[in-house]
Structure 1
Amino acid sequence: MSEGSIVFDRALGRQRLTRALAAGYPDFLLERATQDLDERLSAVLRQFGVAADLGTPLPLAAPVLRARAGTALRMAETAGAAADLVGDLERLPLGPESLDLAASLLALQGVNDLPGALIQIRRALRPDGLFIGCLLGGRTLQELRQVLLEAEAETAGGASPRIAPFADLRDLGSLLQRAGFALPVVDSEVVIVRYRDLFGLLRDLRAMGWGNALTARRRAGMRRDTLMRAAALYVERFADADGRLRATFEIVWLSGWAPHESQQKPLRPGSAKARLADALGVAEHGTGDKAGG
């Protein structure tokens, strides 16, 4: 991986997550994602042999997996209780074809090499194994991103990156296909959380270990005048009628299967046994014919 592709200081991110875990880590988004995982897996009518939770910050997903697998492991990226092994999402400590089910909740948005991480997850799955996970999408914290950039440009004469770039929904389906997953599915849900003021949002982000861990971040703290201007802009642009402020979180869900001969496959071109024109009850024209000719 080239230096130009290193977006996140992952060591700093793990330090902040460790502090957040020690302080109680009130991650309401992760609790919501865990409930969604349970609902999504309930629609899969099969029992899995070996399952693993890959990097979910809190030990919330593992109990859901244990209900659907003979064996369920938890891989954490930081040392702590309830983890079966500690590893890196960019260097998975798993052998090829060692899992039947892999899940990851709100962790993959912090890796530098998302395509590589997906390829490793795909290799760790046995044929017809399932990967399901979620990460933060591109609309996450769009309000905060806008006001911080504008406030810093006004007060400091320039802006530095303070909100991580999150993956776009349209790109993630292609990444699943590139990683070798069959039957890929991508969908998203927008969650709006309301705050009394900007400072309540910032407190929550710090408490969840979501401080700025970008390698290109400005090392100096934010100036007070910049912060106050951002707070004022947030009220001007994103306040509801009752005065509370909106913060957007986009949760993007990914799923895909390790290829297996039993899975549905698209028909070969030219193999259809009926004509579309007959099904629609219209006349068929060759590529060189003009309509109405």
Structure 2
Amino acid sequence: MNLCPLSPLLFEPLVRAALVEDLGRAGDLTTDAIVPPDLRATTVLAARQSGVVAGLDIAALAFRMLEPGIGLVVERPDGSPVEPGSVIATLSGSARALLTGERTALNFLCHLSGIATATAAVVSAISEYKAHIVCTRKTTPGLRALEKYAVRAGGGSNHRFGLDDAVLIKDNHVAIAGGILPALERARAAAGHMVKVELEVDTLAQLEEALAFGVDAVLLDNMTPDELRQAVAMVNGRALTEASGRVTAATAPAIAASGVDLISIGWLTHSAPALDIGLDYQS
């Protein structure tokens, strides 16, 4: 997998804020009382269940913000599958930094690995079809860049990152504009030549109206597999087709079999369960 790493500029402020939240005004009372300041230790990040890793650089930064000299040897880089007991990475250095940064590091690593794991499961379920799994803007406030990175680590792709990188006309836009045609006309007139326009449709009649005007992509919302097949035939390559609505690993294959280009899933980022990963003391 050719997974481009996240720039630290995107996550350094988040890790710093998380550490400040945890350390409060007095620091780690437990560790500072028990562990000598010059004690060194070695720990491993180990998987407790099967999944896919994402967020190692972010976890490492949580330790290194406390002690820049913390050493990291990666065994399973982001995007790698793991089984229970798999060693993901070995950390060595200040015992105080390792203990104090543990929870912040694991909060990020377990959450992002959970997203990567959930994504990988759906990607695997539709592997025989051409459709790509994409995430949405249903992300944890402040963590969007990280969560969308985790989707990529799991083999998925990203939908738009925000309101400013594409036009997506949804049902409320259409209702307020007074119909599909005026909504499309206003959007196309305002959008720059580099901005794509996508329209959400609930029926094949709406799709026909959108195709008559011309759009870059259509979001086929909550359609049955049979309706999706009809929609793909109507589009006939004139626009990207995206299926959305209550998609799971179990329902995704039937949706992908319809021939759609994309399947968007919100729960990958807003509800994926964390992957159980622990920090184990070695010496």
Query: Normalising by structure 1, what TM-score?
Result: 0.33
The structure where helix makes up a greater share of residues is 2
Normalised by the length of structure 2, the TM-score is 0.34
